[in-house]
Each structure stands twice: as structure tokens, then as C-alpha cells.
Amino acid sequence: MIKCYLEFEKPIEELELKIEEMKRISDGKDVNLSGEIRKLEKKVKDLRTEIFSKLTPWQKTLLARHPDRPYTLDYINLITEEFLELHGDRRFADDKAVIGGLAKIKGAPVVIIGHQKGRGTKERIRRNFGQPHPEGYRKALRLMEMAEKFKRPIVNLIDTPGAYPGIGPEERGQGEAIASNLMHMSRLRTPIVSVVIGEGGSGGALALSVADRLYMLEHSVYSVISPEGCAAILWRKNGELNAEDFSRASESLKLTAQDLLRFKIIDDIIPEPSGGAHMDVEQTARNISDRVMQTIEELKTRTPGKLVEERYRRLKKIGSFVEEA
Amino acid sequence: MAWFKKSKGLKTDKKVKIPEGLWVKCDSCKEVIYKKEIDKNLRICPKCNYHFRISARERIELLVDEGSFVEIDSGLASNDPLNFKDKISYKDRLEENRKKSGLEEAAISGEAAIEGRPIILVIMDFAFMGGSMGSVVGEKVMRAAEAALEKKIPLITVSSSGGARMQEGIFSLMQMARVSAAIAKLHESGNLYISILADPTFGGVTASFAMLGDVIIAEPRSLIGFAGPRVIEQTIKQQLPEDFQRAEFLLEHGMIDLVIDRKELKKTISQIIELLT
């Protein structure tokens, strides 16, 4: 597999290419470069740690959209012992950009739902780049209501650029579908744990993330608007917008997991391996399932009534304003 | 050869100067109309029945019994949680909008009466930062819903908004979840909630309280949707159908209950309250 490097990973790429070449040279020959190689490998590791410890918001945005970044199904395959995908909204269609079903994680039955992006052109189109239609949200709500009925906790994995802007979605009530999820999720009498695993794109992400606990992976982002959209509104000029504009916009938006933790909008950050989730998918998956299942255990001790009441109080606290008497 | 010769030096300077504000171009049918004619008609286009945007204060006069409106939560003001960097600072932008609109924020809420029946009312005003929903608008809607719940009286909202307010980032996004949770409680306790959609209603407002009414009413020709028409056009690279995202389009697709003229709005609301409570 050809590794995909982002712009800011170029120094890492150079070193790794060098290592590759040294390995090739020493392969099957008498030249022993293993000492050199080890030294370089250590250097790569340190360099990666350094680069990833101070990523800018825009770099994090790019990482959250990295083509190799694990998607919902990758995690489901790793964290569940069983998974039965269920389909359709019982109204109009089965939206491939949202998947969900019955699963077992660490022996406990749950309902797991998430946005699904595709890998490769064909699959990407089939998944509509992870941008749901109203049917996706309605399928998700149907499954969540099923979870409530059978007293199963809900796990949501968030990863979408946003709800799909098209004619069909507007005709069939994209706004209503999202609103309805927000409203009903706030009252579901079963634990909900949501994790932003990649892109948290505005209302389209929010519609799956109302929860008792909201976590974000270390290098994921969550924002009211994409940096590109924000830059277009702020600095729409004659020329094209460039990476520098997007970078500035992403700084303004405060969209990183670290920002949201500081704002107390999320409950915690789930760590990623050095170099990002895709560098060690198994480890990332373990980090997610450990955290999620530990949280569910804790939430299970609450009565459904208390759970709903606390969820409401959690939401009520979010806001930043002053009030004159 | 000289048939089409340009006659130089014949340029006239006689461009007719129209005093500003005397004529108005309709946003919907593009007809140019004498402003006084529109004002006399509750700011409705006499040609296509498009309902022009009106201020929150004008709306109060139109909707509730005279002198019955008492504002609540008027002391709420935005701060700048993101320290948002823009061409001008968010704080300055707020100040600018306060001056321009004469409002403290993009929504006013209060207690009022409609034909003698008490209600809680929230009215958005597009003139204040495009009616965008940040923490203050969210808080006002949430408190209004809680007040309606406590007093066991109907909640009525009038939306006119571009959506969530970008300058408050994630805080604005979260308001969608907050207000929807408050509306959920209202429905659970059997309270009546009527949502009125005015031109334009988009984004995070459509995708939260605006579409959660027991009864949803839109003003004629209003633009209502989730994604803005320009974004959709850019995405699908097709021309949008005639009347796309107009109130009548939503009615046709089963997304709203009624399209009602501004003149009939109060009467209709009163009728719904009478029939349901």
C-alpha cells in the first residue's frame, strides 16, 4: 500500500524514504546498515512525536479527513464481537452514509450507529462522502428508538463533512430530520455515548451526537462550519481562497478536540497513537472501546429518568453570555 | 459604411434620479413597486404576495393584543467565547448591529396575549446579524420554552434566520441541541407549540426549533430550507427548480401545515389555540 503523507508530514516522508532505500540496499547483501536504520527510525519517531504534538487547527482538520483515517466500519469490525447491520428508514430509502445495527462490545449488547465514508472512488460515491440525506438521520433515530425499547445503550461514531446539500434532501425535510433527532435523542431513556472519530461537520454531525457523554479522538475536529465555508464568508474576494485563508479560519473557529474540552463541550479526549489514528488502527479502536464501555457501565447505574434529567441539565449549561439584572 | 457610426458627444446627463427609498424591488418577483403601496399593505408585495421582512417590533404589533407584550430576558448579551478573528472583532460587529437594528440581539422574547389568551412569544429579527442563532438566541428560546412549560401556556416562535452564528462557533451549533431539548419537554407535557416561518429561515434554525412545532405555518413566498440555495447549486451544478425552497414548495412536499397571509396570521393562531387548548 502506498502511504499517503500530508503536507506537514513531508519531513517524515523524506526520512522514511531514506530508510526504505537503505533497507533495499542492505537486503541480501553483505552491507550491514541495521545500525544506521535503527538510528533513522528513532529519528522518525521523535520527529513524528514533535510534529504531532503541535499540530495547527488546519493540520488537524486535514488529518481528520486523511484518506487513510479509519472510518466507522473499521472500528466496528475491530471493537465488536458481533455486528448485525440493519437497514432503512421505513420511509423512503436506506442511506449508505449512515450505518447502524445491533452489536456486542466486550460481551455487552449495544446499538451502534455512525456516519460512514467510503474508501476509493466508487465506494466514496456510494457512501456519498459520508454526507447523509434525511433518510440517514431517520434510520439512525429508528435504531435509537429500538435501543430504548430493548434497553440497549447507544454508541454513536461521528464522522461527516455535513448533511448533504441537494434538491432531494430539501424536498424530504433535511432540517426536520436533524431537528427531530436532536429533540428525540434528548429524551431517550437509555445511555448514549458519542465519539467524534474524524470530521464533526455542523448540524449533520450534531444530529448523531446528542449524548450523556461526548468524546473526541485526539486529532478530530468539530465545528459549526468548515474552515473553507468560514473563509468564503469572511474573505470572499475576487481571487481564490488558499490554504492560508483556511488555516486562519480554522484558528478562528476553535474546532479542535483540545478547544472543545477547554470549553467543556466534550467530556474527554480519547488519545490517538503517534502519527494519528491510522498509524495503529487496533490501538485506536481499543482506546475507543475501553473508554466507551467504561462510560456505559457507569451510566447504567442511573435510572432512565435520572439519565434524561442529567442529559437535559448538561445541555442547558452550554452557552456563553452575560446577563444584566 | 457610416450607418452605425457612433455619434460622439451626444451623451446625455439626464439619468433620472430617483429619491432613495421611494421605490422598492420585490425580492421574489423583482417587480419595482412604490414603497408606500407596500407599507400600506403590511409590507406585502401587491404583485406576487411576497411578504417582505419586517422587524421584530413590527411583528409584535401585528401578532398580539395591543399593549399585551412584556419583554422577558432582555438583559442577555453575547460575549465572545472564541475571541473570534474577523475583519472587525465580533464585539464591534455586535455593537454595529445593535446600532443598525435598534435591537440587543437577533431575537426578542416575552409574554403576551392573542385575543385574550396568554402566550409566550419569541420573534427573530433578520436585521440583527442575519437573525443568526448564538448563545443568546439559544438561551432566549430555551427560557421561553421553559416559561411556557411552567405557565402551561402555548409557545409561539417566529423564525427569520440564516442559521447558527458562525462567530460563536461550536457554542452556536450546540444551541440547536439545547433548544430542541427544551421543545421536547414542552411536547412531553402536552403544551402547544406553534412555529411560524418567515423569510428566510435556514440552517441551524430550520434544523432545530423551527421545524418542531405542533403546527408549522409559513408566510407566502418565504424561502425556507436547511442548505442555502447557493450552496446547493454549487454542489449539484444544476439549476434549481422554480419555486425551490419557497413556502409553497414546502407545503407541496408536506413539510409544513399552512401558508398563511400576514393579515390572517393572528386570527389563524388564535383559532389553533382555541381548537387545541
pLDDT at A144: 98
Q: At what angle do helices A227-235 and A243-253 cross, to 10 degrees?
A: 100
Higher pLDDT, residue A4 or B182 = B182
Tell me whether B168 touches chain A (CB under 8 Å): yes
Among A280-289, B44-53, B141-150, which is the least confidently predicted range? B44-53
What is the rounded average pLDDT for all residues in chain B? 92
d(CA A315, CA B139): 11
Q: Which CATH number fits domain A61-317: 1.10.1040.10, 3.30.930.10, 3.40.50.720, 3.90.226.10?
A: 3.90.226.10
| Range of lowest pLDDT (A22-36, A194-208, B45-59, B115-129) | A22-36
* Closest Cα in chain A, distance from residue B12 (Å): 33
B147 touches chain A (CB under 8 A): no
- pLDDT over 60 at B14, yes or no: no
Short-list A221, A214, A226, A105, CA closest to A162: A226
The number of CA neighbours under 13 Å toward the Cβ of A300 is: 13
pLDDT (tens digit per residue) in A147-157:
999 999 999 99
Distance (Å) from the alpha carbon of A17 to chain B's nearest alpha carbon: 38
CA distance A94 to A138: 10
Which ipTM did the prediction report?
A: 0.95
pLDDT of residue B271: 98
Domains and CATH numbers, chain B: 18-52 (no CATH), 53-276 (3.90.226.10)
Residue A21 CB partners (closer than 8 Å, separation 6+): none
Question: What is the spatial distance between Cα B245 and Cα A88, in angstroms, rounded to a whole number?
Answer: 26
Question: Would you call A223 and B212 a contact, using CB atoms and an 8 Å cutoff?
Answer: no
Tell me the pLDDT tens digit for each residue of A5-18.
999 999 999 999 99
Over residues B93-104, the mean pLDDT reads: 94
Q: What separation, in Å, do the N-terminal and C-terminal C-alpha atoms of chain B show?
A: 82
Query: Whole-angstrom Cα distance, residue B179 to residue B198?
Result: 19
pLDDT at B8: 58
Indicate which of B109, B166, B239 best probes the interface with A, i.e. most A CBs within 10 Å of its own CB: B166
Q: With an 8 Å Cβ cutoff, are B181 and A182 in contact?
A: yes
Contact A296, A191 (CB under 8 A): yes
Q: Which value, in Å, is the radius of gyration of the alpha carbons in chain A?
A: 21
Chain A within 8 Å of B135 (Cβ-Cβ)?
yes
Instruction: Give the C-alpha distances (Å, rounded to integers) separating A169 from A100, A302, B274.
Output: 20, 38, 35
Cβ-contact A102, A83 below 8 angstroms: yes
The total of other beta-carbon atoms located within 10 Å of residue A279's CB is 15
Q: How far is A44 from chain B (nearest CA, A)?
A: 35
* Predicted confidence pLDDT, tens digits, chain A (325 residues): 578 899 999 999 999 999 988 888 887 777 778 888 899 999 999 999 999 999 999 999 999 999 999 999 999 999 999 999 999 999 999 999 999 999 999 999 999 999 999 999 999 999 999 999 999 999 999 999 999 999 999 999 999 999 999 999 999 999 999 999 999 999 999 999 999 999 999 999 999 999 999 999 999 999 999 999 999 988 876 668 889 999 999 999 999 999 999 999 999 999 999 999 999 999 999 999 999 999 999 999 999 999 999 999 999 999 999 998 7
| Three cell numbers written together for B246 | 419557497
- Enumerate the residues of chain A whose CB falls inside 8 A of the CB of residue B188: 187
